[in-house]
Amino acid sequence: MQEKIQVFLNFLTVEKDYADNTIAAYRNDLTQFLRYLEAQGMDSELGWHKVDKQDIVGYVMDLKEREYTSSTVARKVAAVKSFFHYLMAEGAIKDDPTATLDSPKVKKRLPKAISREDIEVLLAAPAAGTSAKAQRDHALLELLYASGMRVTELVSLDIDDVDLESGAVRVHGKKTLSKERLIRIDEPALDATRTYLNKARFQLMRDPNVRALFLNHRGQRLTRQGLWLIIKHYVDEVGISGDVTPHTLRHSFAAHKLSQGKSLQDIQKLLGHANISTTQVYQQVNQQSDG
C-alpha cells in the first residue's frame, strides 16, 4: 500500500508539477492515513481496494477526536480523496470509497457544552439500572465527565490505571505527545467505578487476562464506536436535544470547571492540551452561554 502512495506522489511531481512542500504534505497525510488503517488491524498487503467508506469515516472521527483544527482535517481528507480518485483513474480499484464522502466544513466552531442540569440527568440514566451493562455505563459516563478525558483515552484505560484508594486515574495522552497525566476524580465517579469493578466487570469478563477497564458484552475492550453508541442511547433516552457526543462531555467538563473558578492553566493540564491557546476557547464557550 505504501508503494501505491509513492507512485501517486511521483505522478504529482512529474505530471502535476506540484511544489516540494505540497508533495511533502501529501506524503505525510497519506502515510498517516495508512498508519491509522494498520492500527485498526488492516493488513497492508491486502491493497487499497479493501478500504471502504467506513474506514475513512473512522479516520475522520479519529482526527477530530485528536483535536486537529478543522482546516487540517479538511486538508487531510482532501489528500485521501485525491489519492482514491487517482487509483480509480488508473484502474487500481473498482469503487471509490470517497465518492459520496462530504468534505469537512472548514469553518471553526466553538466546542459545544451542555448544562450541568442536562449532565445530571444524563449521568442518572444508567444509575437507575442494576444490570452489569448499566453499572458499566454509569461508571464510564461518570468517569468521562469527572475527568474530561478524550474518548480514546477512556477506552484505553486498564484496571491498573485506576487507583481507588487515592481517587486518581492515570491517563495516557496522545501518542504524538507521549505524555501521561494523573487526574483526581470526584466521589460520584469513584463510587460508580468501584461498583463496576467489584460487581459488573466480573460478569462481563470472558478472559481474566484482559486488563481493559471497560469491557463490551463479548468481554473485550470497549471501542470508541461502542462508547459513542452508549452515549447516543442515553441521550435519546433522557431526551437531551442537539448533537451530544462523548466529546461533548469533555467540552462540558472544561466549561463547567472554568465557570467554577478553575484557572486556564489547571484546565489545560487536566485536558492534556499541549498549548494553552487550545484551552482558551472555553472562555468563549462560557461567554456564549452567559450571553
What is the CATH classification number for the domain harbouring 136?
Answer: 1.10.443.10
The pLDDT assigned to 109 comes to 59
The pLDDT assigned to 291 comes to 41
- Flag whether 136 is in a domain: yes
Contact status, residue 214 vs residue 140, Cβ threshold 8 Å: yes
Catalytic residues: 150, 174, 247, 250, 273, 282
Name which of 120, 273, 130 is nearest 188 in CA terms. 120
Domain that holds residue 53: 2-89
Question: Residue 242: pLDDT above 80?
Answer: no
Mark whether 173 and 280 lie in a shared domain. yes
Listed in sequence order, the DSSP H helices in 128-261 are 132-147, 151-155, 187-195, 201-204, 224-238, 246-259
Mark whether 122 and 259 lie in a shared domain. yes
Tell me the CATH number at 25.
1.10.150.130
Question: Residue 136: pLDDT above 80?
Answer: yes
Mark whether 230 and 128 lie in a shared domain. yes
Mark whether 85 and 134 lie in a shared domain. no
- Flag whether 218 is in a domain: yes
| Number of structural domains the chain divides into | 2
The pLDDT assigned to 83 comes to 93
Comparing 48-62, 92-106, 127-141, 232-246, the range with the smallest average pLDDT is 92-106
Average pLDDT, the chain: 86
Mark whether 143 and 268 lie in a shared domain. yes
The pLDDT assigned to 110 comes to 56
The pLDDT assigned to 131 comes to 96
The pLDDT assigned to 284 comes to 63
Mark whether 83 and 220 lie in a shared domain. no
Query: Whose grid coordinates read 482514491?
Result: 84
The rounded distance, in Å, linking the Cα atoms of 132 and 203 is: 6
Among 89, 124, 149, the domain-final residue is 89
Mark whether 152 and 264 lie in a shared domain. yes
Name which of 232, 169, 225, 177 is nearest 197 in CA terms. 169
Question: CA 37, 38, 41, 46: dihedral to nearest 10 degrees?
Answer: 90
- Flag whether 110 is in a domain: no
- Flag whether 99 is in a domain: no
Mark whether 155 and 13 lie in a shared domain. no
- Flag whether 284 is in a domain: yes
- Flag whether 101 is in a domain: no
Comparing 54-63, 136-145, 157-166, 178-187, the range with the smallest average pLDDT is 178-187
Question: Residue 30: pLDDT above 90?
Answer: yes
Which residues are 158's β-sheet partners? Answer: 212
Mark whether 129 and 66 lie in a shared domain. no
| Mean pLDDT, rounded, for 189-207 | 96
Question: Residue 188: pLDDT above 80?
Answer: yes
Query: Whose grid coordinates read 495516557?
Result: 172
Binned at pLDDT 50, 70 and 90, residue 104 comes out as low
Mark whether 36 and 131 lie in a shared domain. no
Which one has a higher pLDDT value, 131 or 116?
A: 131
| Mean pLDDT, rounded, for 165-185 | 78
Question: Residue 149: pLDDT above 80?
Answer: yes
- Flag whether 98 is in a domain: no
Binned at pLDDT 50, 70 and 90, residue 181 comes out as confident
- Cβ neighbors of 72 (< 8 A, separation 6 or more) are 63
Mark whether 267 and 209 lie in a shared domain. yes
Mark whether 161 and 47 lie in a shared domain. no
pTM attached to this predicted model: 0.60
